């Protein structure tokens, strides 16, 4: 079916695979939100989904123009047979607890549990801005790193080198640095301090994964050890 669209429109089939993946991701988040809430009459959830789609689609187009191979690979399943069992577990854990679990918990808390008072409007708006900035940062990181695939592996077939431009000048893992903004921000915007606090679970898994990733890159990618010396911080400049 995708190949038919490619022939009709003149765009590469990979473009439609990327769009299909973005649509699927948004649908999963929407299902988590509205199933947990028990209603689709939730304006903030619709706003969150709108921001998600606009920022991701716009950023994806910008990235595709310079690194189509990266997006083509990232449009596939998030885990691969070549990955270690530990890495697959970490990836699935982040997706389940963060990008599904946080919106699911927000829907339950806002519409059923009412465990805490809703954040003030200014805090909620701050959360939405953080959410948008987080996805924008992911796009900037992907545009700066032609080797940012989903699994921890070297890519000698593509001549992998150390990514040290753009946001990689300031932190070693800007793609992961976006996740606190996305996860905590979504919880605040949706009106649940509980969901925002629950983001600590996927963030711990992310830290475990990036630590393992650094071990692999330092051991196997020429120049990465020197890069770690130049760029001291992993996620937050001046802190860690």
How many other CB atoms are found less than 10 A from the CB of residue 163?
20
Each residue of 115-149: pLDDT tens digit? Answer: 999 999 999 999 999 999 999 999 999 888 877 76
3-state secondary structure of 238: coil
Which structure tokens are listed for 148? 């940012």
**Are the beta carbons of 167 and 141 closer than 8 angstroms?**
yes
Query: What is the model's pTM?
Result: 0.88
How far is residue 175 from each of residues 86, 148, 170, 197, 221, measured CA to CA in Å?
20, 9, 12, 21, 19
Q: Please name each of the domains of the chain with its CATH number.
A: 2-230 (1.20.120.1630)
Each residue of 166-207: pLDDT tens digit? Answer: 999 999 999 999 999 999 999 999 999 999 999 999 999 999
Please tell me the number of Cα atoms within 13 Å of 207 on its side-chain side: 11
């Amino acid at each position: 079916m995708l190949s038919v669209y490619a022939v009709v429109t003149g765009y590469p089939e990979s473009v439609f695979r990327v769009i299909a993946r973005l649509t699927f991701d948004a649908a999963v988040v929407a299902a988590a939100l509205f199933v947990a809430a028990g209603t689709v009459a939730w304006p903030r959830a619709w706003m969150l989904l709108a921001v998600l789609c606009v920022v991701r689609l716009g950023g994806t187009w910008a990235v595709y123009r310079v690194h189509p191979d990266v997006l083509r690979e990232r449009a596939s399943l998030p885990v691969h047979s070549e990955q270690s069992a530990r890495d697959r577990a970490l990836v699935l854990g982040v997706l389940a607890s963060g990008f599904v679990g946080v919106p699911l918990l927000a829907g339950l808390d806002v519409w059923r549990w009412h465990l805490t008072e809703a954040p003030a409007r200014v805090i909620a708006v701050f959360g939405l801005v953080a959410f948008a900035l987080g996805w924008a940062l992911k796009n900037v990181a992907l545009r700066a790193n032609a080797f940012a695939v989903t699994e921890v592996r070297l890519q000698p077939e593509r001549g992998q080198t150390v990514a040290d431009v753009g946001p990689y000048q300031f932190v070693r893992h800007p793609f992961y640095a976006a996740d606190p903004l996305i996860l905590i921000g979504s919880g605040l915007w949706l009106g649940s301090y509980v969901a925002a606090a629950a983001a600590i679970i996927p963030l711990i898994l992310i830290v475990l994964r990036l630590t393992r990733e650094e071990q692999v890159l330092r051991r196997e990618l020429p120049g990465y050890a020197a890069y770690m010396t130049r760029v001291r911080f992993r996620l937050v400049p001046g802190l860690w």
